[in-house]
Amino acid sequence: MPTPSATDPAPKCEASPTADSRLPSANIRLVIFDCDGVLADADSSWEFVHRAFGTDNNTSLLAYLQGEFDDWEFIRRDVRLWTKGTEKVPASKIRAILDKIPIMTGAPQTVSALKARGIRTAIVSAGMDMLIERVARLTGVDINLSNGVLVDEDGFLTGEGFVNVPVNDKGLAVRKLIDGLGFEKCECAAVGDRGIDCSMFEHVGLKIAFNPADQEVCDNADVVIRTKDLREILRHIF
């Protein structure tokens, strides 16, 4: 289930804001990260699996974007492509594919630096839980929310999935997270790389576009970072 812009070429961003007088002055207490393209160096974990299987879900992607079905059906259609409708696929095969995705440069050091200052960290991603859980473990992120596939008692994909983060409304998951932790909007920052992350931006005080994949995320960010070293976000937070 790739993000809606996963199949689009990534245009260069036009001039966008950097640190200036529009940035919030309150101390940041929570930083929320997207995963694919931010903490993990891959545009989409779902698309990464499709490439490994040699499958193409452009037809279902278009139907999803047109509102023909929901996130759960999107996952079902992805899994059917991987299983060719009848083949049983072990979850271990999916995990082995996702384990090839590298951690973004500077991600562990960034999370460590934030936590050293008492700042909570979270991942809110529509990516696959098998990747997000590994990234959270390797970087030390406190909380992670993601989507994924369901596995039967024998370790094979059931064909069904679960959704904690709607692709087109990640902001819903962000709002629930912030409210649950008891933070104010001005105390929170979000880091994303594409337009679907803008719904996260609506609920935080500091909006950071990291290595942006499209113009929309640039236009909605307070800070735009055009390098694949996550440590660059720190000087805009501290």
Q: Which residue has the tokens 């996963």?
A: 6
Nearest to residue 60, comparing CAs of 1, 147, 144? 1
Encode pLDDT of 25-36 as tens digits. 459 999 999 999
Domain covering 30-237 in this structure, CATH number: 3.40.50.1000
Query: Of how many residues is the chain composed?
Result: 238
Alpha helix ranges (H) inside 91-169: 91-98, 107-116, 129-139
Residues 218 and 13 sit within 8 Å (Cβ to Cβ): yes
Q: Copy the structure tokens of residue 39.
A: 């903490």
* 23-37, 136-150, 163-177, 211-225: segment of lowest average pLDDT: 23-37
Non-local (6+) Cβ contacts of 95 within 8 A are 130
Encode pLDDT of 38-54 as tens digits. 999 999 999 999 999 99
Record the pTM: 0.88
Non-local (6+) Cβ contacts of 73 within 8 A are 64
Non-local (6+) Cβ contacts of 63 within 8 A are 69
Report whether pLDDT(85) > 80.
no
Domain assignments of the chain as residue spans, ordered by start: 30-237
Of residues 140 and 19, which shows the higher confidence score? 140
Kindly report each contact of residues 143-151 with a partner whose C-beta sits within 8 Å and lies 24 or more positions away, as own/partner.
Answer: 143/177, 144/35, 145/173, 145/177, 146/35, 147/1, 147/71, 147/75, 149/75, 149/79, 149/91, 149/94, 151/91
Confidence of residue 10 (pLDDT cuts 50, 70, 90): very low
Report whether pLDDT(118) > 80.
yes
Report whether pLDDT(204) > 70.
yes
Confidence of residue 169 (pLDDT cuts 50, 70, 90): very high
In percent, the amount of the chain with pLDDT more than 90 equals 81
With H, G, I as helix, E, B as strand and everything else as coil, classify residue 208. Answer: strand
Please report the pLDDT score of residue 62 as a whole number.
87
* Average predicted confidence (pLDDT) for the chain: 90
Please report the pLDDT score of residue 22 as a whole number.
43
**Which DSSP category does 103 fall into?**
B
